[in-house]
Chains A and B, each alone.
Chain A
Amino acid sequence: MQPDAPPPQPTRPRQQEWHAYHALALLPALGMLGGLPWANRVYPLVLGLPFLMAWLVGWVIATAALMACILRLDRARGLAGDDVPGKPAETGQSGTREPADAP
């Protein structure tokens, strides 16, 4: 990955493959915002922070953890290991935006 110029090949675009675990990425939005009406309070303070603030900060940290899990799972399947530019498509799945089940 060191050479300066990436080979400017006209690529056959590799499409996103969808797996069930990608749905984990929806959790932050659902939890952070869904719990908001309930979490909208000052007390109890958590580590000195008002409850609402602590709730949101907790979800920010959880988001990073969830995205790290997704990245690991993607790597395990070779979906995110392409630091080498121009690696061809693995499965040639007809890429769609709908979540497809694991092959």
Chain B
Amino acid sequence: MTVSLAILGLVFGVAIALGLLARRGHTMTLEQWSVGGRGFGSIFVFLLMAGEIYTTFTFLGGSGWAYGKGAPALYILCYLTLAFSLSYFLLPAIWRYSQGRRLVSQADFFIAKYESPALGLLVSLVGVAALVPYLVLQLKGLGIIVSEASYGAISPTAAIWSGTAALIGYVVISGVRGSAWTAALKDVMILVVVVAMGVYLPFHYYGGYGPMFEAIDHARPDLLTLPGAGMSPAWFISTVLLTSVGVYTWPQFFAGVYTARSENTFRKNAVMLPLYQLVVLFVFFVGFAASLIVPGLVGPDADLSLFRVAKLALAPWAVGVIGGAGLLTALVPGSMLLITAATILGKNVFGAIVPSSSEQTIGIVARAMVPVLALFALFLTLRGGQAIVMLLLMGYNVVTQLFPALVLSFGHKPRITATAALSGILAGELTVAVVTLSGTSIARLAPSFPQVIKDLNVGIVALAVNCMVIAVVSLLAKRPSERNLAT
């Protein structure tokens, strides 16, 4: 136990040290702090983008879902792949537009494109609203990692508190440059840990992948395919489509685009990242292996499966290394999320409400928002009992509503008015809010519909409402001028 905690502490110390080192030689203006002065080459951007693939979400949530739900977890592999092929076209367009315009946040992009500060404010609020469940997820992961790696010596609540403190300290000290350096360390560690576990467990306990999956199919025949109802192929397809178009509507990915030095970086990444993320497969292997080795974790507790099986199968020092890798998967993306949300609140919300405030004041407000946001997420973490994957899907439902307005903004000028974009986003978010708060699903709203429609992800419905409202508002706005032409 002490060994594993010591390793965990060591990893945290190294992460902080890297953050401090990265800070040297750069004055921390808001632009430096949040987009690294726009001087990142291919490898850094690759690491930053890949860094957001391997979050606690994939590490604990991916194995947890493979353990608890089985095949539906494979959606993670698919949506990332499709998102990368989309990124080949989408990201260079965003990057080109950002050049020479000093854009820092996602809202800046919408404000400039649509010439509408009101839309910018809405986009900012949507972004922060979506980031909160994502942050909660990271904190939940941190809590699991610290308490499990301590073999229960630190209670989950105390673990979440100390994890949050670590995250705040890390972000305030290093900003985005720290993220890129630590991302390199994190990716190496997670690669080694995940591949080692994903190979060792199936071979040690079952004698290989084939025997493992045969054993699972024998013991739990429902685990390896998608069920006929619920998380059926219809659910899978709609969820993959929704989340893959949603990836680049996340404000932190948007801000990540600005950090690049050249647009070609994204094209090369679009080729490499699908292969790179195949490592996720090994995370699934761990979850599947655990399903028969440590059965009995139900509901959100399935997220614990990776650590439970590790503690059973491996020595404490190895558990410490796994915990260290997990700690980094929470700290690096967590810091990105916090920085993004804080920058949005400082620049695009505070700055929009108090337009007279100086750049310096905005920078101070942004940094002050870090602990505020982290503590808010902490409060929600301690209250809620959602599984990690569910939290992310919730965030996706919220943030994907920005996609229609984003795509329709390309070209010399946007194809729709700011009003149409605003109404579409509002209508979409309203649908998401109603559906989420009432805890309903299409199956419950329309029990007589065919199963295929009942299983659709509700986010797709909200997206459809969003698009319809955009179409209607655009048509209504057009009508007067057409009438004038006709008379």
* Contact partners of B298 in chain A: CB under 8 A: none
CB distance from B27 to the nearest CB of A (A): 14
Q: For the complex, what is the distance from the CA of A33 to the CA of B278, rounded to whole Å? A: 17
A67 within 8 A of B: yes
Q: Which of B100, B271, B412 contacts A11 (CB 8 A)?
A: B100
Please, what's the 1-or-0 string for B68-85, where 1 marks a CB less than 8 Å from any CB in chain A? 000100100110011011
The residue of chain B having its C-beta at the shortest distance from the C-beta of A4 within the complex is: B39
Q: Is the CB of B264 within 8 A of A33?
A: no
Instruction: Please name all residues of chain A whose beta carbon is closer than 8 Å to the beta carbon of B208 when the two chains form the complex.
Output: 48
Known A63-B85, A71-B267, A97-B410: A47·B262 in contact at CB below 8 Å: no
A51-92 with Cβ < 8 A to chain B: 52-53, 56-57, 59-61, 63-64, 66-68, 70-71, 74, 80-86
Asked if A42 meets B217 with Cβ closer than 8 Å, knowing A61-B275, A67-B84, A96-B411, the reply is yes
The answer to whether A80 and B267 touch (CB under 8 A), given A28-B82, A45-B213, A60-B81, is yes
Question: Cβ of A97 and Cβ of B261 under 8 Å apart?
Answer: no
Q: For the complex, give the distance between the alpha carbons of A96 and B411 in Å.
A: 6
> What is the bound-complex CA distance between A13 and B109, given in angstroms?
14
Determine if A103 is an interface residue (Cβ-Cβ < 8 Å). no
Smallest Cβ-Cβ distance to A33: which chain B residue: B237
Q: In the complex the two chains form, is B71's CB within 8 Å of A52's CB?
A: yes
B359 located at the interface, meaning its Cβ lies under 8 Å from any Cβ of chain A in the complex: no
**For A102, what are the chain B residues with a Cβ–Cβ distance below 8 Å?**
none
Task: Please determine whether B96 and A11 come into contact, CB atoms closer than 8 angstroms.
Answer: yes
Q: Is the CB of A50 within 8 A of B224?
A: yes
Q: Among the listed stretches B86-94, B148-156, B416-424, which one makes contact with chain A, having 4 or more residues with CB under 8 Å of it?
A: B86-94
Q: How far is the CB of A64 from chain B (nearest CB, A)?
A: 4
Q: Is B404 an interface residue (CB 8 A)?
A: no
With A9-B100, A47-B209, A50-B213 in contact, is A56–B77 under 8 Å at CB?
yes
A25-B278 Cα distance, complex, nearest whole Å: 19
Q: Are B225 and A40 in contact (CB under 8 A)?
A: yes
Known contacts: A1-B261, A70-B88. The answer to whether A42 contacts B225 by CB under 8 A is: yes
A6/B96 in contact, CB under 8 A: no
Assembly CA distance A66 to B84 (angstroms): 12
Question: How far apart sit A80 and B271, CA to CA, in the bound complex (Å)?
Answer: 13
B85 touches A52 (CB 8 A): no
| Nearest-neighbor residue (CB-CB) of B261 within chain A | A6
Partner among A14, A37, A40, A60 whose Cβ is within 8 Å of the Cβ of B96: A14
Judge whether A80 and B264 touch: CB under 8 Å: yes
Q: Which residues of B contact A4 (CB under 8 A)?
A: 39
Q: How far is the CA of A1 from the CA of B74 in the complex (A)?
A: 39
Complex partner residue of B84 from A5, A41, A63, CB under 8 angstroms:
A63
CB nearest to A42 among chain B residues: B224
- The docked-state distance in angstroms from the alpha carbon of A67 to that of B275 is 11
Chain A residue numbers with a CB within 8 Å of B92 are 16
> What residue in chain A is nearest B237 (Cβ atoms)?
A33
Contacts of B407 in A (CB 8 A): 97
Judging by beta carbons under 8 Å apart, are B411 and A67 in contact? no
Residue of B at shortest CB range from A96? B411
Query: A36 an interface residue at 8 Å Cβ cutoff?
Result: yes
Distance A96 CA – B408 CA, assembled complex (angstroms): 11
Contacts of B261 in A (CB 8 A): 1, 6, 85
Interface centre among A29, A36, A67 (most CB of B within 10 A): A67
**Further pairs besides A6-B39, A71-B270: 19, Cβ < 8 Å:** A1-B261, A8-B100, A9-B99, A9-B100, A11-B96, A13-B99, A16-B89, A32-B82, A40-B226, A48-B210, A52-B224, A53-B74, A53-B281, A61-B275, A63-B85, A63-B274, A64-B274, A67-B84, A83-B262
Q: What are 9 A-B interface contacts by the 8 Å CB criterion?
A: A16-B410, A40-B225, A42-B225, A53-B281, A57-B278, A67-B88, A67-B274, A71-B267, A83-B264
Binding site for A on B (CB under 8 A): 38-39, 41, 71, 74, 77-78, 81-82, 84-86, 88-89, 92-93, 96-97, 99-101, 208-210, 212-214, 217, 224-226, 233, 236-237, 240-241, 244, 261-264, 267-268, 270-272, 274-275, 277-278, 281, 284, 407, 410-412
Going nearest first, the 3 A-B pairs with the smallest beta carbon separation are A48-B209, A48-B210, A10-B100
